[in-house]
Amino acid sequence: MFRQTFAKINLLHLKYNIEFIRSHLSSDQFLCPMIKANAYGCGVIPVASALRDVNIRRFGVALVEEAVELRENGFQQEDIYVFSTFTQESLRVCKELRLTPIVGSLDDLILLSKLKEQISIHLMFNTGMQRLGVVNEDSSTILKLLENNPQIRLMGICTHLATAEDFSEENSFAKSQLKEISSIRSRFSSSDFHLHALNSAGFMGALDQGIENYKEYGVRPGLLMYGVNTFSPQIFKPKPVMSLISQLIKIQKVNKGQGVSYGHTWRPARDTFIGVVAIGYADGVFRQLSSKIEFLIKGHKVKLVGAVCMDYLMVDLGDIVQSRSEAENLIGEEVLLFGENLYGSADITNVAENAGTNSYDIMSRVGVRVPRVYS
């Protein structure tokens, strides 16, 4: 690497987190880690390989293209579930590559009926997310269509929780969704297929409420597996999988009142030293973070000041150095934006909150020009 900016991906932490989840499930409970969107920015092939190392044999993706990438990289025996909408051509690819479509519309079921070749599917029901999914009222139509098309093998049904964070509340909408999908499940006679509904927040909510009461629901972990738990941190503190690290590359002496970065939106109230860091919004550092957040240099907090640039950002070193020589001694030091390094840790949720978004967004938008370094 010519530029010392990288995302450190700790696959041991990934394995630790998924093992925690699996340890609370029964042996026959459906477990399907979500590795869509390049495994939340962590790198789909290394992440899938690490999961395979601990005998995970199911993966969830959002695009047929993502599933094809897995097959082309040696994942031939694993069950790959595609949560998407489909065309005749994409269903043909699913058939050829032994992918399992998660079907969420009557139109897609009708397309499947035209294949005339055996294919296994799961059905997604919309129980409140208002995104993908067939509805309960269509169950009779679906059952008739499946009866008339025995080549379509229904192997599972599922739903997606819209407000899993409210799981512990008395009138939890998430729990009403679980009740609805259980009721739908009872209309299908097959006893050997999967029912899955719990995302990361849903799993933690079920754990908090007594996981033994939710054994019928399979789990599709995402953010929790990647080391973020904003739901019940008192129950489980996952280990961070991604750490975003850059380098202090230059020192600037800035006088009181001088403007810094585009638009001079920040001016110091004292003479200070500004450090230039080799990372910017093209790498995934949101411009909304400008002058709002602190990063870590050798374990010391330094504030991001001025507007984030495409390739660089600036930090105020005035609280940790008193002279130019002290400041220049920091050139080449790591700057930790989130995750952990030898000097400490920085919570990605703090970054997300200051950017007005969530941790999924922060991780998945770390740019393609940021190398992933695996450990």
Instruction: Provide the annotated active-site residues.
Output: 36, 262
Which one-letter amino acid corresponds to residue 229? N
42 Ramachandran zone, left/alpha/beta (phi>0; psi -120 to 50): alpha
Cα-based distances in Å from 15 to 10, 12, 54, 150, 351: 9, 5, 7, 39, 24
Hey, what are 309's tokens? 């640039």
Q: How far apart are CA 228 and CA 241, in angstroms?
A: 9
β pairing state of 100-103 and 300-305:
unpaired
- Among candidate residues 343, 341, 354, the one with its CA nearest the CA of residue 320: 343
51: how many CB neighbours lie within 10 A of its CB? 22
Q: How far apart are CA 283 and CA 270, in angstroms?
A: 30
160: how many CB neighbours lie within 10 A of its CB? 25
| 93 contacts 64 by C-beta, under 8 angstroms | yes
β pairing state of 300-305 and 194-198:
unpaired
Hey, what are 212's tokens? 């033994």
Q: How far apart are CA 27 and CA 32, in angstroms?
A: 13
Angle at 13 between CA 8 and CA 15, to 5 degrees: 125
